[in-house]
Structures are given as C-alpha cells and as structure tokens.
C-alpha cells in the first residue's frame, strides 16, 4: 500500500473510520475499536458529537479499508507518521489536554483505553489550527471559571493567549526589539510564547522567559516549528524549508538570539515538541548536540 500525500486522502480514510464506528456489522465495529485502542499517534478531528481520533497507521495509507487493513503486512506507524508530518506540516506531540479527550472518546466509543499506546509508548497527537482553537478555548473557559484566580489575573492570562497585556509589556521591556532581526518598530512586533499558551501552567503563561519578541514572519516560522534555537541561541532551520524559501524569508545560518539560563527549559521544550526536524537525521541530531553548550551572556 502507498502512503497518503494529500489532506483529502487523510479525510477519505477518516470517513472510512466513521463508517466503521457507525456500522451495524460487529466485525467492522470490532476492528474500529481495536485500532482506536492500539493506536499511538492520532489525528484529532471534529466529529458530530465532539473530538474524535484517527490512528496514523490507518489514515496514513491511501484508500485504506477497515476490512483489509489488518491484512497489510507492511503497515508501519513510522512510515505513516512521516507522510502525515509532511502533509500537516508538523509532528505529533504528547498533550495532556488531548490525552484526556482521547480517554473520554474511548469510553464513548465502547473502548477501554490503555494506559499508553502500543509498545508502552506515550500517545501523541497532531495539533492542527482547528485543534489549537478548541484547546485554547477550553483552557480559557477553565481559567475564567476558576474561583481561585482573581479577576485581574484572569484578564492577564487571557490576554497573554494573544500576546497582549502584561505578557507583551514584559517582553517589550526585556527585549526592546525583535530578538532575532533587531527590528525595533514595536507596533509590528509579536509577543510569542516559546512553550505554547495552551500547554503552559498559569505562571508559565506570564513568564517573560517563556517569550520571544519577533517580527511577524519569524514569529510564524517559530510558531509552525520551522525554526528553533539551540541552547546557546543559534538558529536551527527545519529541513522542510528549501534554500530558496530560506533566502526569501530572510533566514541566515548566522542568526542567533541571546538567551538567559531561564529560557533553556522553554527552548528545549520547543525543540522537542514543536521544531519540525528530522528526528532520525544524524546531521540534525549532531547539530543539536554540538550547539548545546551554554555560553556566557553579554551584559544587557
């Protein structure tokens, strides 16, 4: 079987899963439930009654069918994950919010969820723009309904979601200009979380060391995982960006930012969870190791 190359092909396979979930044939339902239970990496999607989850080993093969999927001797999640990464433009990541939604979905689908994915591996999920909106809306609702948080703090936490309020003020005071390009036209600069707002604790959402001040194109590249930074601030560029696109976007391998030790846990999180590098590429892994040594900060 060949792997998917377009989003529409993934959607066709999701439609096949939905037919299995709604089927009156016990064999189809059983196969569907087994796929959901055994899966390790999932594509979340919006179904009629909330979020549903499509296992990558199924949706990653073109024109897949529940009736024949088990007969494919070459099915391999590593292969389908790579194909889905290319289509979605990011890699799957562990996410506590989605893990909770996956468990609730399993119960609704008549599946007893396992503690981990296959082979004891932590389950991971592709987080598309649609899913980001759902997660952030849920987190915002939790914040606004939490009686332990003052109204002032609630306002600051919600504003930080879009890089405004106290969070932006702190970043403007700390960086003063784009930390990567040096642009100091503050009205266009974006206050960007290193570890995404949706994945943070409340204190992390307002932590100045969990933020970069970037011009819009660099902010988008960072948010999409197309660039990241080593421990000493040197830029890392995803293999997904061609040399022509790097040039068009103004990227240079000489670029770097000045990081404080307090930034490191957030930058490391971004590299591990957001940066779209080739995890099996020894050159990339060597680069990360070689650039991991801390360097002394210049006086501010």
Number of other CB atoms surrounding residue 2 within 10 Å = 9
Pairing of strands 124-125, 50-55: unpaired
What's the domain count of the chain? Answer: 2
* Same domain for 255 and 166: yes
Residue 214: domain span: 148-290
Domain assignment present for residue 141? The answer is no
276-294 confidence digits (pLDDT tens): 864 333 333 333 334 333 3
Distance CA 81, CA 280 (A): 13
Q: Is residue 296 part of a domain?
A: no
Asked whether residue 142 is assigned to any structural domain, the reply reads no
pTM of the model: 0.80
CA dist 204 and 208 (Å) reads: 8
- Last-in-domain residue among 75, 98, 127: 127
Do 153 and 114 have their domain in common?
no
Backbone angles phi and psi of 137, in degrees to 5: -65, -40
Residues 193 and 258 in one domain: yes
295 belongs to a structural domain: no
Q: Would you state the pLDDT for residue 283?
A: 35
Summarised one tens digit per residue, pLDDT across range 73-124 is: 777 888 999 999 989 988 899 999 999 999 999 999 999 988 877 777 899 9
Tens of pLDDT, residues 217-264? 999 999 999 999 999 999 999 988 999 999 999 999 899 999 999 999
Domain boundary among 98, 127, 156: 127
């Amino acid at each position: 079987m060949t792997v998917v190359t377009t989003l529409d092909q993934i959607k066709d396979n999701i439609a096949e899963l939905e037919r299995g979930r709604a089927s009156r044939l016990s064999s189809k339902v059983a196969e569907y439930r087994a796929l959901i239970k055994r899966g390790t990496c999932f594509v979340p999607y919006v179904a009629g009654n909330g979020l549903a989850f499509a296992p990558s080993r199924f949706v990653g093969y073109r024109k897949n069918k529940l009736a024949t999927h088990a007969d494919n001797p070459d099915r391999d999640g590593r292969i389908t994950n790579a194909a889905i990464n290319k289509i979605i433009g990011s890699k799957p990541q562990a996410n506590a919010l989605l893990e909770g939604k996956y468990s609730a979905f399993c119960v609704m689908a008549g599946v007893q969820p396992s503690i981990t994915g296959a082979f004891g591996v932590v389950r991971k999920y592709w987080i598309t723009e649609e899913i980001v909106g759902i997660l952030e809306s849920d987190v915002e609702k939790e914040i606004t309904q939490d009686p332990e948080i003052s109204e002032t703090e609630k306002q600051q936490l919600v504003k930080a979601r879009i890089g405004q309020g106290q969070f932006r003020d702190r970043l403007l005071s700390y960086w003063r200009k784009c930390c990567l390009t040096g642009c100091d036209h503050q009205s266009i600069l974006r206050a960007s979380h290193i570890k995404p707002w949706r994945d943070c604790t409340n204190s992390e959402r307002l932590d100045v060391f969990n933020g970069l001040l970037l011009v819009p194109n660099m902010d988008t590249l960072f948010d999409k995982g197309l660039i990241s930074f080593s421990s000493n601030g040197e830029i890392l560029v995803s293999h997904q960006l061609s040399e022509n696109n790097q040039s068009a976007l103004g990227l240079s391998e000489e670029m770097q930012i000045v990081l404080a030790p307090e930034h490191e846990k957030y930058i490391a999180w971004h590299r591990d969870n957001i940066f779209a590098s080739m995890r099996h590429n020894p050159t990339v892994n060597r680069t990360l190791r070689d650039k991991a040594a801390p360097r002394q900060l210049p006086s501010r």
